[in-house]
Each structure stands twice: as structure tokens, then as C-alpha cells.
A and B are shown apart, each in its own frame.
Chain A
Amino acid sequence: MVDLSINCAGIKSPNPFWLASAPPSNSAYQNCKAFEQGWGGTVWKTIGEPVMNVFNRYGGLDYNGQKIFGLNNIELISDRPIEVNLKEIAETKKLWHDRAVVVSLMVESKRETWHEIVKRTIDTGCDGIELNYGCPHGMSERGMGAAVGQVPEYCKMITEWVTEVSTIPVLVKLTPNVSNIQLPARAAKAAGADGISLINTINSIIGINLDTFELRPNVGGLGGHGGYAGPAVKPIALHLLSQVAIDPEVNLPISGIGGVSNWRDALEFILLGASSVQVCTAVMHYGFRIVDDMIEGMTNWMESKGITSLDQIRGKSLPRVNDFGNFDLLNRTIARIDQQKCIHCNLCYIACEDAAHQCIDLTPVNGHNKTEVREKDCVGCALCSLVCPVENCISMVRIDDGSASKTWNQLTEEFRKNGKQMTWENLAEFQHKHGIEIH
């Protein structure tokens, strides 16, 4: 029997799917509706200082006819008063004991103000607090959000103000708009945070109108940077998640965020160490109903793999996150084209010819072109297999037996020991010895 329940830094929920602190989790109406449809938790849209939104606040990035491949926004934190939100949070939690209700907070950088909001939030009966150190627009200019997340010292100071009074778990939500995500994560840890949420949105300009030269979203002729989210940011989120998850100085539970649109995405986050995942853009595109497939799809996948609890797979891919210097230079693959499956689109040919290593031959046969890999010249880069539109038509085949494994780090060490410089000539000698010819 598959059990999807999770415990993220002491916050428990029946499944790992939480609404991210964002427009879908703005009100009791929305959060209760989401719970009815199966969401395991919510991070209530950030409450705090008085704000007023502009009207036009989202910009969509469409790609090849796919709508909202990315989404950016200049919406602020909740534009409803703290009192209204706290009342609704208390009502919601009363109705939904088994779901995780986490409240996102952002107030001005004063110790007393933080103490007060934390106490009032705890009084709602909610399960946890998330500190919004990530919001990249509107609030950062006022010294909040990303302005805090980008400076580890501020991050530590404010987190301490929260943890010194909080009786419930505290998650610190990080901004990706930093050069080293581990630094603010360590600051949060040092300040006593119970967990990390990441990533918040990425600074972005989503696009320009080619007729008017206006930015999108366009507010009366003006636009500016907004927070970028959606499927397009997932690879960035996965990378930053892995960086925090492998950092022994952090070692905290993580709620993963960034382009999670379905159960497959969620599993990738979990395999890189996330305890729960938070979703916003996919809900903004399709509504709460997507959680049905998320729960069912993940359950079916786990059943097919004989996995009964997410604890069994959490972080399972982390040991594979490694440095280039440790990759085997002699792990050789080449491309093979299945002629039975080939539909003769010749995309592999033109990609290899113009953008890779010119090792696919195109020969006319019976009115169409036959594409064939010249194996001795193939460097195994895999580009052809990526552009091929037919499933399993081009496969990357391993041709070495593993006996001659050598990493860059090992090679440079070997050279050093033998008193050899890392020169093109010495490298060519190594390549030649292993039958590798680079044209």
C-alpha cells in the first residue's frame, strides 16, 4: 500500500503537493477549494505590510504554440489586511486538520514587528511559518523579500527574530537571484530555521511588444523586472535544490519549488532531496484539479516500482550529483540509428552536420535519404538522439567495456606524478592510446 504522506521539517501532510505562496493560495475560499480537490498543504499567500497592486501584473512566455511555458509576475504580497488573512487562516485550519497550512510572512525589518506577526500567526493554529526572502519585485525595493534573501547577514538576523519566538516550524524561502545559494541557506540554518523552501521566482523581463516597443506586462507604457516561474525554470530550480541538499553545512529538510507541473516533476524534486513540493504556475494555468493526476500518477509510479513511502526515494539521486572532474573520460557512447524506425526527416543529419561533428552520412536510397552514423567519427554527444522525433529510433550505445576508466582529475594527477604538463600534445597522446580521434 502506497503512502504519499510526508513530514517536512515537522509539518505533516497526506501528500507532498502544496500550493506555493502565490495567487492560488490567496484566500480561504481558494485554499479550502484546493483541499477539497486533494492538495496536501498550502503556503498561504504572504501576509504583511500594506501594499497595492497594479492592474496588469502577469506576462506569459509561449513557446512553439505552447502557452505559458514560463510566467512572470509583478504581483505583490497579499493586498488584503493582515486581520482578514489571519481570520481566514484560522477558519481554514479549523476545517482541515489533516492538511498542512503554512503561512508566508513578510514585514519590515524590525524585531518587534516580526515578533508580533509571528505570535499572531501562531495563534491561528497553523502548522508552520515560511519567511518570504525571495520576492524579487516591488517588496525588495522597500528592503524586504529578495533584499533580505540576497544578504546572508540579514537573512540570519531576521530568521533569528522569528525562531526566538516561534513555537512552530519555520521554513526560510530563498531567492535564486544570488551567485551562491548555499550562503543564505547556511545563514538560515545558523539562525535556527527548521527547513528551506526554494526557489522563489527569478528576475526577468518576459518580452517586448514588437509593435509598440512596450514591455510585458505593460503598465501604462512602463514595465520592469518581474518574477519568472513555470515549466521553463524547473532545470534552474533542480540545480539550486541539489546545491542546498548536498551542502553538509545546511542539512535541513527542503520544500522544493520551481516549475513543478505534474507528478513526474515532483518526483525529480524528491529524488534531489525535497520533502514536499510547492506548485503555483501549473495551477494558474489549469486550476486546482491538476492535483488529481499528481496524486494518482505518483501513486501508480510508486506501485509499479514497489515503493511504499517517499522516504525510500528521497534524495536518491543526490549521490549522483558530482563534479565534471570526476566524470569518466573513457566512458564511450556512439549513436546508432534504427533504420526500421527512421521516418527520414533528416533532422539528425543537419544537426550533426551543422552543429556537431559531421559524422552522419546522408545517402539517397529509393527516393528518400538514408541517414547513417559513421561510428569511427561519432563523439557520442547525443545531439542527434535529442532532435530525433521518433521514440527509440536513435539510441546511444556504450562501446567501451569500462576497463579503461579515467577521470580528468585522475588524468591530471597521473600527469603530475609522471612530471608531465597538461599540454595539447600530451592530451592527444592519451586520446590516441585509447583510440579517440578528435577532428
Chain B
Amino acid sequence: MKNIASKLPSEQYEKNFSDLHPPFTQNSAVAEANRCLYCYDSPCMKACPTHIDISTFIKKISTGNLLGSAKTIYESNWVPLTCAKACPVDVLCEGACVYNAKGEKAIEIGRLQRYAIENYFDKGMPALFHKAPKNGKSVGIVGSGPAGLACSAELALLGYEVTIYEANKIPGGLNTWGIAPYKMRREDSLKEVELVKSFGVDLKTEVMIGKTVKVDDLLKKHDAIFLGVGLGESPQLSISGEELSGVVGALDFIEKVKTENWENVHVGKKVAVIGAGNTSIDAATEAKRLGAEQVFIIYRRSDVEMSAYEFEYELAKKDGIVFHFLTSPKRIIGNSFVEGIECLKMKLGEPDIHGRRKPVPILRSEFTIPVDMIIKAIGQETKSSFLSSIPKLTLDDEGCVIVDRTTFQTANPKIFAGGDCINGGKEVVNAAYDGKHAAHGIDKFLSKK
């Protein structure tokens, strides 16, 4: 990079990446829990993709039955700490809280869930569930992200021999690598992995299915397979200059922030993030918090069309991120290093097949933003080459695995799938739902045999 942002004092990094939503103290948790109306058949429960019995777990916090509270949560969701910290609660449970309809502040469900689950880990993860005796059948789980973990936990308790194959050295998938540190630290994700391992699940890391182990061998070894492989790389921008030093993918960048000492993660003095989804916001705010002086988000459409949640947009604005809407990157300028990005002004035209108005370039509207670093955050590609190599699997137009939405069974009856690889990239909580319910799909399938 041409101009690298200067390092910050180490305590400044800690401050910049400190909890966005700090934990409750006991008193404040109980006070908040008591504020909950304990609705019957509550809207928050319906809004949660995993249907956690929220009002019940909150009631249990109010009486000091914290173990019971954790149990209620785990009955529906195997990665509740990640969900508590990373879920877009504003559009899910807290958005559905009846207090909104009263014009009052919604119950802080995410923070209460965090309180119950952190207490559970602090207490040393005492056993909450009865584990069925071994049934002699084995299931291989590909990927240790939220979908894989949820599927593994559920199957292990049902009596299956479960082996997780994780390509990375450190498990947890995007729960470990992909969540901004001010939302969640890596250790939290690893605690959830430990819990699943404690059910007798065998976790094999640095095993790349399709490379280290062949898919056929896996199918021979196990009675069923669950694919929770997530998505792959950021796609190319396909503009000139993309090979220059200083152009990085958003996920690589975010992963670095989660794995390396912050002072060793270089960011440019001026950074442009291409795309305006939730990952773009993470990348932009992280670059800013690492010391970048100016961070821009460049997006072809307007704020109305962008996929970032409202609260993420607000967070970015608070961090001083500058948004260039209706702006499309044309080429990256520089010799060996990025020096700037030439953009084109856009206007919105007719709606496309998804109903979103198509951006149309405005002629001769080129302008250049001088930047030292460009972060590509225009989504993730599916792992289509890997997925196509699996016998009898069918993929949709977007490259996602096609499954039965009840059993999560693919066209290959022995193979089940869930999470980002079937939905193209949703929330952790959706993956947690898929994994758990796929486990029951697998159980149903194998019990018949």
C-alpha cells in the first residue's frame, strides 16, 4: 500500500473494538427481564428464525433460574451466544416486541440472551440435556460453522456418531472469522464449538473435503452427510487495476481483523469499500477503527436499495464513513499500488427482474476518489465447483444447493445441506435453524433404514 494509516496506541484498539452492546450486570439483567410482559405465544418467539421461547427464558432470568434460562434457549438454538451478539435483533425478535406497538423501548432480548448464555459458560457448561445411547450410525458434517455445529449437536444427542470436517485450522466458520470484533470476539465462537464437542462430536480440522478427503470416501464412511460449507470468495469487480496491491476482499480483511494483532493489520489512510451490504459496513467500520483517516462506501444504487440494515447504516455514519451512493467503480488507478478509484455517477432506471431499479450510468460523469486501499464487498460466490463435484447434487441458478425445506435433504438422499450454501447468504440464526432441523431430517431418513 502506498499510504498506510499510522498505528494507534494499543489501548485505542481495545477501545475501538470494545463491545457495541456491553453485557448486563445482574441487577440490570433482572430489571430488564422484569420489564418483559411475558407475552403468551409471543411475537418475538415467532420472529426468531429458530423460534426460541424468548419470554420463557427471560422470565427465568427474572427469577434467577439462569441454568433453566440457558436450557430454554438451547432447546431451540445451538449457537445462542453468537446469535445474541450478531443477530440483527432490530429486524427480528426485538423488532417484533409488543413494546414497539406501545411506542416504548423493546426488551433487549439479545443482551438478555447473552447474559443467560455467558453465565452458562462461566458456570462451566453443566449438562442440560440427556444424551441418547449410541445408535451405531454415523454422520459426517462438512464445515463447523453455525449450520454444521447445530446439526452436530442435535445428532450427537440423538445418539449418532458425529464427525465434523473443517478445512480451517480454527473451527467455527463465519462465527469465528466473519463477525466484527466489536460485536463478538473469536473466543465466544470457540466456546460454542467446545460445547458441541462436549457431546462427543469428533472435530477434525484442516481437512478439505474434495482435496484431503474425497467426497466418495466420505459417503462410504458415513451413513449420511451434512453440508454446511457456506459461501466462497468475493466475486471480481472485473475492472482494470484489480490486481494492484491494496485491493482486498472483504472477508479476507475481516478475517485478518479477527485473527491478527490489530496493529499488524494494515489499512490505507484512505479506504474505499465497494458495495453497501452488511459485510461492507463491517469492513468499513473496522478499517476506520483500525486507524484509516477516511473511509468511503461506494454503491451503484441509492440508500433505499442498499441491503445493509438501518442500524448498520447508522453505525457506519456514526463512525464517520462517507457514502457515495449512485456511484459505480470504473477502474482502479495506480502503478503497483492503488492510488485512486475512478467512478461513474449513476441514475436509477427501470426495475430489474427482482424489482430493484437498475442503475444506469450518466455519460461523462467520471470522477476520481484518491484512495490507498480498496475493499471489495459485493457479496460472496457460492462454492460452485466443489458443490458440482458432489454426485447427484442439484444447484439453483444462483449456485445454491437445492434441498427439501422440511428435511433439508438434497437430491442425493444421503446428503443434507443447510446454511449459506442453500440460501445464498443469510444470518447465523438461519443457519442454526437449518442445521438443527436437518439433523431431524437425517434422523428420519436413517431411522427408516
Contacts and interface: CB of A to CB of B under 8 A. Distances in A.
Interface of A: 64-65, 343-347, 349-350, 362, 367-369, 389-390
A367 B62 CA distance: 28
Given A65-B30, A65-B31, A347 B41 contact: no
B101 A344 contact: yes
A344 B43 CA distance: 8
A347 B42 CA distance: 9
B281 to A, nearest CB: 29
B102 A389 contact: yes
A345 B37 contact: yes
B38 interface: yes
B39 interface: yes
Nearest to A64: B34
Contacts of B86: none
Nearest to B47: A367
Contacts of A368: 43
B98 A343 contact: yes
Nearest to B102: A343
Given A65-B30, A65-B31, A367-B46, A346 B101 contact: no
A346 B40 contact: yes
A347 B102 contact: no
Nearest to B39: A345
5 contacts: A64-B34, A343-B101, A344-B101, A362-B41, A389-B98
Contacts of B99: 343
Contacts of A349: 40
Nearest to A367: B46
Contacts of A343: 98-99, 101-102
A367 B34 CA distance: 26
A65 B38 contact: no
Chain A's interface: helix, strand, loop or mixed, by majority?
A: loop
Nearest to A349: B40
Interface string B17-57: 00000000000001101110111111100100000000000
A389 B43 contact: no
Contacts of A390: 102
Most chain A Cβ neighbours within 10 Å, of B31, B41, B42: B41
A351 to B, nearest CB: 9
Contacts of B98: 343-345, 389
Given A65-B30, A65-B33, A345-B39, 10 more contacts: A65-B31, A344-B43, A345-B37, A346-B40, A346-B41, A347-B37, A347-B39, A350-B40, A367-B46, A368-B43
B34 A345 contact: no
Interface of B: 30-31, 33-35, 37-43, 46, 62, 98-99, 101-102
Contacts of A362: 41
B260 to A, nearest CB: 43
Contact of B41 (A64, A65, A369, A389): A369
Given A64-B62, A389-B37, A389-B102, A345 B31 contact: no
Contacts of B46: 367
Contacts of A344: 39, 43, 98, 101
A64 B30 CA distance: 8
Nearest to A393: B102
Nearest to B98: A343
A343 B106 CA distance: 12
Contacts of B42: 345-346
A154 to B, nearest CB: 45
A233 B39 CA distance: 29
Contacts of B41: 346, 362, 369
Contacts of A350: 40
A358 to B, nearest CB: 14
Contacts of B62: 64-65
B123 to A, nearest CB: 16
B308 to A, nearest CB: 25
B46 to A, nearest CB: 7
A347 B38 contact: yes
Contacts of A389: 37, 98, 102
Contact of B40 (A64, A65, A347, A367): A347
A427 to B, nearest CB: 34
Nearest to B28: A65
A390 B101 CA distance: 10
Contacts of B43: 344, 368
Contacts of B40: 345-347, 349-350
A171 B98 CA distance: 51
Nearest to B103: A343
B109 to A, nearest CB: 15
A359 B98 CA distance: 23
B277 to A, nearest CB: 26
B314 to A, nearest CB: 25
Contacts of B30: 65
Contacts of B39: 344-347
A350 B62 CA distance: 20
A390 B102 CA distance: 7
Contacts of B31: 65
Nearest to B55: A345
Contacts of A65: 30-31, 33-35, 62
Contacts of B101: 343-344
B445 to A, nearest CB: 31
A349 B39 CA distance: 10
Contacts of A347: 37-40
A267 B101 CA distance: 34
A73 to B, nearest CB: 23
Contacts of A345: 37, 39-40, 42, 98
Most B CB contacts (10 A, CB to CB) among A343, A346, A368, A369 go to A343
A347 B40 CA distance: 6
A60 to B, nearest CB: 14
The 7 closest A-B pairs by CB, nearest first: A350-B40, A343-B101, A345-B39, A65-B34, A346-B40, A343-B98, A64-B34
A353 to B, nearest CB: 9
Nearest to A346: B40
A343 B99 CA distance: 8
A172 B30 CA distance: 43
A369 B98 CA distance: 12
Q: Which of B31, B33, B43, B99 has the most CB of A within 10 A?
A: B43
Listed residue (B30, B46, B99, B101) with the most chain A CB atoms within 10 angstroms of its CB: B101
Nearest to A391: B102
Contacts of A346: 39-42
